[in-house]
Amino acid sequence: MRRIATPPSELLNHLIACRHCDLLQQRQPLRRGEWAQCSRCGAALYQRGDRHHHALPILLAALLFWLIALQLPFLALAGRAGMESEMDLFATVGVLWDQGYLLLALGVALTLLLLPLLRVVGLIYVLTAQRYRFRLPYWKPIWHLTEAVIPWTMHEIYLLGALVAMVKLTTIGDLAVGGAMWAFAAFIGLEVWAESLLNHEVLWRRS
Amino acid sequence: METELTARAAGLIACHGCDRLYVAAEVGDEGGRCGYCGQPLYSRSPQSLERSAAWLLAALILYLPANLYPMMWTTSLGRMQANTILEGVVVLMQGGSYGIAVVVFVASVLIPIFKFLVLGYLLLSIVRAQPTALSERLRLYRWVEVVGRWSMLDVFVVAILAAMVQFSSVAAVQPGIAVDAFAAVVICTMLSAQALDSRLIFDPCSSSTDWSR
């Protein structure tokens, strides 16, 4: 059981170390629209965080689109000689599972569906917790989980993959884009927007 | 602050969860937890080089079956054809879809090779405590971080094609074994990049760089 480290002194609160190059720098006050950049490697250090509270409604909208995307068809093919097929987002996982690629089906299910959902729901939970003065349980581990999951959410890569697949499919027949495609794109767009407004320091400096 | 000082050289530990700085001497040898966000405190990722190298080696080993075995089986009018990653790119080019062929080639061939070379170079340069090309190496690392996931593209393409084209012997697409191996390569290289603490690039060669912490 590791003990809690001594809380840092006031002086150290004015400093920040770049996460990528470890350069120790002094925090500066920011004006509207500004964000702090590491003076050595240019990585983002911190932002103002005054639009942090906008993220919650955007994330709720994103979640709504995600749920819509799951109900609607994704792609539909009307080929020659009666070759017709239709798929929704689940079918990507289903076809791998049916072909016997169980581990891969699980991997796609995670990266495409479950982890992006976890991130959005986790963020909604933490932001809601913030609104209720952090009285919701487990918000800290949920936050860290939701951050750890980021590199493993590959839903936007899936969308590009769908575009590549569409080009190949048009050689077989007429392709129709389903509502799920647009809803999914909206989910991605809203999520990216919400992430740009989020400022994790707001969580730590007020809790 | 005129001089360029890393937090580690200044005797400080930055919490990876919330960026707060702690005095390393007060945290102690057995480590501690951040009082604000609860995350374990460490100056550098523990066993960063060992873990990164291990994942990279696993990725290299898996790269062989990923390229030698077929990625996709295409059935056309009763005839079954197997395509490896490279063969798939060639087929696209023969079909006239040059743009898409380039996208798939970049995602499935260039990016993985790029990651292997860069991660290997970074690991070696850190072990040899190379004091030069600091910013350049960090930039390479950041590129690997950003670009690495996109190699999963081909896995999704095969899965979507397989989901759409299932018309028994007239036209059918099935995923091949290489899809498993290739997905594993992407995952392993991602884990390798994640395990590598890029701040190690900036630790001066003469200081007490304790690789175990």
| pLDDT tens digits, B89-121 | 998 888 888 989 999 999 999 999 999 999 999
Section A104-120 average pLDDT: 96
User: For residue B122, is pLDDT > 50?
Assistant: yes
Burial B84-96 (b: 16+ CB within 10 A, else e): bbeebbebbeeee
Residue A75: its chain B contacts at CB < 8 A? 160, 164
Contact call for B21 and A111, based on CB within 8 A: no
Vertex B59 angle, CA B54 and B65, to 5°: 140
Determine the residue of chain B that is closest to A139 in CA distance.
B37
Asked if the C-beta of A6 comes within 8 angstroms of chain B's C-beta atoms, the answer is: yes
Report the gap between the CA of A94 and the closest CA in chain B (Å): 8
Contact B159 A92 (CB under 8 A): yes
CB contact under 8 A, B163 and A87: yes
With CB atoms and an 8 Å threshold, state whether A165 touches B161.
yes
Q: Looking at CA atoms only, how far is residue A71 from chain B in angstroms?
A: 17
Residues of A in contact with B159 (CB under 8 A): 92, 95-96, 108, 161
| Length of chain A measured in residues | 207
Q: Which residues of B touch A201 (CB under 8 A)?
A: 18-19
For testing contact with chain A, the best of B71, B156, B173 (most A CBs within 10 A): B156
Task: Read off the amino acid at residue B107.
Answer: A
* Predicted pLDDT of residue B213: 40
Contact B149 A3 (CB under 8 A): no
- Choose the closest CB to A140 out of B37, B155, B156: B37
Closest-CA residue of chain B to A100: B175
Residue B97 sits at the chain A interface (C-beta within 8 Å): yes
How sure is the predictor about B208, in pLDDT bands with cuts at 50, 70 and 90?
A: very low
Span A165-192, average pLDDT:
93
- The per-residue pLDDT for B207 is 46
Whether residue B170 and residue A83 make contact (CB cut-off 8 A), yes or no, is yes
pLDDT digits 0-9 by tens, A13-56:
889 999 999 999 999 888 888 889 999 889 999 888 788 889 99
Q: Does residue B205 carry a pLDDT above 70?
A: no
pLDDT in tens, A85-95: 999 999 999 98
B40 touches chain A (CB under 8 A): yes
Burial of A180 (0-12, 13-18, 19+ CB in 10 A): buried
Confidence (pLDDT) at A203: 82
Q: What is the pLDDT of residue B101?
A: 93
Between A55-71 and A115-131, two packed helices, what is the crossing angle to 10 degrees? 150
Long-range contacts of B125-131 (CB under 8 A, 24+ apart): B125/B201, B126/B49, B126/B200, B126/B201, B127/B49, B129/B203, B129/B204, B129/B205, B129/B209, B130/B205, B131/B204, B131/B205
* Mean pLDDT value across residues B18-44: 85
From the list B22, B97, B152, which residue is nearest A5 (CB)?
B22
Compare CB distances from B31 to A2, A12, A81 and report the shortest one's residue.
A2
Cβ proximity of A158 and A112 under 8 Å:
yes
What is the average pLDDT across B33-43?
87
Q: pTM of the prediction?
A: 0.91
Chain-chain contact of B149 with A154 (C-beta, under 8 angstroms):
yes
In chain B, the percentage of residues whose pLDDT exceeds 90 is 66
Q: Give the H or E element holding residue A46.
A: strand A44-47
Choose, out of B19, B39, B105, B154, the residue to mutate when testing the contact with A (most A CBs < 10 Å).
B19
In total, the C-beta contacts within 8 angstroms joining chain A to chain B are: 208
Cα dihedral angle (B111, B115, B121, B122), rounded to 10 degrees? 130
A169 vs B contacts (CB less than 8 Å): 161, 164-165
